[in-house]
Amino acid sequence: MFGAPVQRREDPRLVTGNGRYLDDLGQDALAAAFVRSPYAHARILDIDVTDAIEIPGVIAIYTYEDLDAKTAERLPLLIPHPDLTNPMTGYCLAREVVKHVGEAVVMVVATDRYVAEDACERVKVDYEQLPVVVGLEKSRAAEVLVHAEAPGNVAAHMVQEVGDAAAAIATAPHRLSLSLQIERSASMPMEGRGVYARWDGDEQSIRLYSSTQTSTGVRAAVAAKLGMPLAKVECIAPDVGGGFGVKIVHPWPEEVLIPWAARRLDAEVKWVEDRREHFISSAHERAQLQDVEVGFDDAGRVLGLSVKFWHDNGAYTPYGIITPIITSTQLLGPYKPGAYRCEFFSMYTTTVMVTPYRGAGRPQGVFAMERTMDAIADYLGLDRTDVRSANFIQVEDMPYDHGLLFQDGRPLIYDSGDFPASLAKLKALVGWDDFAAYRTQAEAQGRRVGLGIGCYVEGTGVGPYEGGHIQIETTGRVNVSTGLTSQGQGHQTVFAQIVADELGVPIDDVFVTTGDTRRFGYAVGTFASRAAVMSGNAIALAARNVREKALRIAGEALEVDPGDLEIVEGIVRVKGDSESSIALATVAVLSNPLRYAFDESAKAATQFVGSGNTDLSKPPVAEGEEPGLEGKDFYSPPRATFANGMHAAIVETDPQTAEITILRYCVVHDCGRMINPMIVEGQVHGGVAQGVGGALYERMVYDDAGQLLNASFMDFLMPYASEVPHIETDHLETPSPLNPLGIKGAGEAGCIPVSAVIAGAIEDAEGFPITSMPISPDELWDLRRQHAEGLIPDLRRGSRSVATTTRTTQTTPIA
């Protein structure tokens, strides 16, 4: 099963309308809706709910004043860091001030969502508007502070350095500097967030459903906020309609308020986020300003690299500085940079907060590095792939220690990868060496085409751990559970594949549950391309434990050495003697000594029926054994495992309209051994599509007052099928030496280098540097105008043998 393109076990349910997403549950629950701030920065002077409460069907209206005990305190800082010196989190409902448009101010609970929204419109809130901070330039200027507690609007300042980068750059034969910019986008899952809470007054317990990427995290946070024992709170992530990072944040205000209201009202309460709420109240990502300085030799080898960047973290920092840390470390990609210094400032603005979105800081880091590689190649007149090759970490360098700390607080050490082989595959796939001829042909037709490339390394499968539990029922049904959650990655399939192989059972007998704290209470969550690596390995280890136990019990029953047994299609049998066998279902019966026979098969385990050779001097459950054919195990890696990939694209830019069309998009991807290549390919496709969105279409447009002007699918341009090119893929499988299955994560890969690749291709087509992404046709048109006016330098295009006389570096003022 491992390595086979097995069809997904979840699909029959999902294609027939039998999925159960958050809003499919709790049909009779009360509905909550929120009054949210219409201003980016304001003081709340008064809240008047008298009109609203009159509406028939309104049950309750809550403001900050109603919150009690820990619910009235700030939301937790999930990931503290010594360099995050000025962390700030919000309240469940705004206390005195609001810091971004969309911040929750009042919660209405009603019999029906329509009524709750009616009531929200009738709540009168008086605000005193305060000066706003929109964009990194304004934040850096610090004429207005988002939080008085954060001088200069700086949440965090972090420096990591290996060697003496400044000296290495100063003494290098060649030097370049680049100023780069990347704008905001967002995860934007098709299903927004949602919470449904069932308070059980008899048991004094809460069962909470959340469209979350971490049900164990939500459970612990809600228990803490509500002052309840963990044992009285359960959290389930039902079918989740996409996550892409935004749903790892927890507890969202609504995740605290909905169970809080359910307990208070002794009722079921549900809240389902609408699309506008998702735009203005959840989280965004990506926006950075970057200054790069690089020193290199005649071969393009980087001798010193110094990167300084400013990261827009929005109004709050509950997820700490994970995203900029990832930018600063994963920027290095497959390269040995010589001396490296990275300094970043994580900055407050009065906008929606920034937390990881698929790629989580890597697209920005890869953009910085790959723009730098292209600039070096252009400067030296070398082929862009030759410059990359000159800087590659080689196979014999593995494991390669960068001397930095990664996002998990552990050393940044690459475990494996074959970058030259990946590049060779990519060049073959895209026809790198044939492109010059193609371009000549296209130019003869008056067409403008360009080729771009981007390489990346992605730390996947970060710890601390995940676990797996496997139980074989007396029917032969194999129940598998793991605590992390699913948002469409096909976990019910890939984990079943692993178990089918490890146990020797038909995959149809294996049933996987994820994200249900009733089934498995210890977990971290689904993020950082970690589910297959972490839970996959944990489940494999658990399966090996169960297999060992099954063989032990079967060995006793068959009176043979367990070492002589094998399990095939759910039957334990003596190797080479299929006559001597016992079904795993029967082994499950024998594993649990019984007093009472609940069915025909159970009789075999009752006390007067046991086989004649029972040793009556020993207890029915042997020392060190437990009843039941089940087992559990955990996988906790010493550090992350590093996947990698390389993309190339050919784009065409219209000489008149500046319309940008991707003609070809090629991906070479290495995530170690693939459990299910069909699913890996699907992950890559989806990632590339999001990358294309981030490169050409998606951006969050704030006006000077901090209003998000494009907070709908009408105006925020997510790619349709008409915008995503055909994606050509090839794979390399360099196993990870770090885990038993030799696998690496694949979830985020597709989106990581896309902006870098498309920028490189457009630059190659146009002949002048591209330094800011995303890029729209009107922006490209404007760059052409600036270029024509001499405001933007030519590329030197030495590699194309186009004569130039100027020796300018690629620096472009930031708008």
Closer to another protein at the Cβ: 133 or 727? Answer: 727
Q: In whole angstroms, how close is the CB of 49 to another protein at the nearest point?
A: 5
How far, in Å, CA of 75 to CA of 477, rounded? 42
Closer to another protein at the Cβ: 361 or 687? Answer: 687
Annotate 5-55 with DSSP letters as a single string: -PPPTTHHHHHTT---BGGGS-TTSEEEEEEE-SSSSEEEEEEE-HHHHTS
Closer to another protein at the Cβ: 113 or 547? Answer: 113
Closer to another protein at the Cβ: 10 or 564? Answer: 10
**β-bridge partners, 109:** 32, 60
Q: In whole angstroms, how close is the CB of 179 to another protein at the nearest point?
A: 32
Closer to another protein at the Cβ: 608 or 720? Answer: 720
Closer to another protein at the Cβ: 65 or 397? Answer: 65
Q: In whole angstroms, how close is the CB of 743 to another protein at the nearest point?
A: 19
Q: Which two tokens stand for residue 155?
A: 């949440």
Q: Is cis: bond before 76, omega within 30 of 0?
A: no
Closer to another protein at the Cβ: 111 or 205? Answer: 111
How far, in Å, CA of 356 to CA of 314, rounded? 12
Q: In whole angstroms, how close is the CB of 144 to another protein at the nearest point?
A: 34
Pairing of strands 339-347, 302-312: parallel
Closer to another protein at the Cβ: 209 or 406? Answer: 209
Q: In whole angstroms, how close is the CB of 654 to another protein at the nearest point?
A: 20
Handedness of CA 372, 373, 377, 378 (dihedral sign): negative
**Burial group, residue 638, by CB count within 10 angstroms (0-12, 13-18, 19+):** exposed
**Alpha-carbon dihedral 374, 380, 381, 384, rounded to 10 degrees:** -30
- Angle at CA 794, nearest 5°, toward 791 and 798? 165
Closer to another protein at the Cβ: 24 or 556? Answer: 24
Handedness of CA 310, 315, 320, 322 (dihedral sign): negative
How far, in Å, CA of 422 to CA of 646, rounded? 7
Q: In whole angstroms, how close is the CB of 217 to another protein at the nearest point?
A: 20
Q: In whole angstroms, how close is the CB of 478 to another protein at the nearest point?
A: 15
Question: Which contiguous run of DSSP H or E holds residue 379?
Answer: helix 362-380
Count CB-CB contacts under 10 A for residue 201. Answer: 9
Q: In whole angstroms, how close is the CB of 688 to another protein at the nearest point?
A: 6
Q: In whole angstroms, how close is the CB of 508 to another protein at the nearest point?
A: 9
Q: In whole angstroms, how close is the CB of 166 to another protein at the nearest point?
A: 42
How far, in Å, CA of 294 to CA of 169, rounded? 6
353-370 burial, b for 16+ CB within 10 Å, e for fewer? bbbbbbbbbbbbbbbbbb
State the DSSP code for 712.
S
**β-bridge partners, 404:** none
How far, in Å, CA of 454 to CA of 651, rounded? 14
Question: Which contiguous run of DSSP H or E holds residue 339?
Answer: strand 339-347
Q: In whole angstroms, how close is the CB of 233 to another protein at the nearest point?
A: 23
Contacts of 606 (CB under 8 A, 6+ apart): 594, 595, 596, 597
Using DSSP's 3-state secondary structure scheme, residue 338 falls into coil
Q: Is 524 in contact with 25 (CB distance < 8 Å)?
A: no
Closest CA to 30 of 263, 262, 273, 251: 262
Q: In whole angstroms, how close is the CB of 260 to another protein at the nearest point?
A: 12
- Angle at CA 473, nearest 5°, toward 468 and 479? 30
Closer to another protein at the Cβ: 57 or 798? Answer: 57
Q: Which two tokens stand for residue 91?
A: 């309240």
Any idea which residue has 């038993």 for tokens? 740
Question: Which contiguous run of DSSP H or E holds residue 270?
Answer: strand 268-272
For helices 322-330 and 362-380, angle between their N-to-C axes, nearest 10 degrees: 30
Closer to another protein at the Cβ: 232 or 519? Answer: 519
How far, in Å, CA of 74 to CA of 53, rounded? 27
Closer to another protein at the Cβ: 10 or 779? Answer: 10
Closer to another protein at the Cβ: 143 or 274? Answer: 274
Closer to another protein at the Cβ: 52 or 197? Answer: 52
Residue 354's φ and ψ, nearest 5 degrees, are: -115, 125
Closer to another protein at the Cβ: 7 or 614? Answer: 7
Q: In whole angstroms, how close is the CB of 19 to another protein at the nearest point?
A: 5
Closer to another protein at the Cβ: 11 or 143? Answer: 11
